[in-house]
Amino acid sequence: MPKSRVTFDTVRKIAETLPDAEFASTYGSPSIKVKGALMACIAVNKAAEPNSLMVRMDFDQRDAMIEEAPEKYYLKDHYAPYPSVLVRLSQVSEDELRDLLNASWRFVTSKTKRKKK
């Protein structure tokens, strides 16, 4: 079954449903933040493939996703030290992206809650 055409507009549409999500710019690239904390952005580092999204998540989840679906999720050296994964937008469905962004929202908001304590 062919994938639906997923773009950053799809990311934006999904992010609009998440509490406290805001649209911003990170290194000149469109991004999604939650209360100022980066959640996702178009991957702009030259190592990233075109049409890729960087999504923040914990290292264990990232590694499992890459192992399970390397055609969809990958990593480049520049991004390796950060809790994030690169997503080939052309390979994921809108439902997969929604699940991924919800997981990232939970990850980012759990980090901001800990900082406030």
Domains and CATH numbers, the chain: 8-116 (3.90.1150.30)
Q: Tell me, what DSSP letter sits at residue 31?
A: E
Return the sign of the alpha-carbon dihedral for residues 104, 68, 29, 46: positive
Angle between helices 94-116 and 8-15 (to 10 degrees): 50
Q: Please give the average pLDDT of every successive group of 10 residues along the chain, which has 117 residues.
A: 76 96 93 96 95 97 97 97 97 96 96 57
Q: Are 71 and 85 a contacting pair, CB within 8 Å?
A: no
β-bridge mates for residue 25, sequence order: 30
Q: Are 33 and 39 a contacting pair, CB within 8 Å?
A: yes
**pTM score, whole prediction:** 0.90
pLDDT for 5 equals 87
pLDDT for 12 equals 95
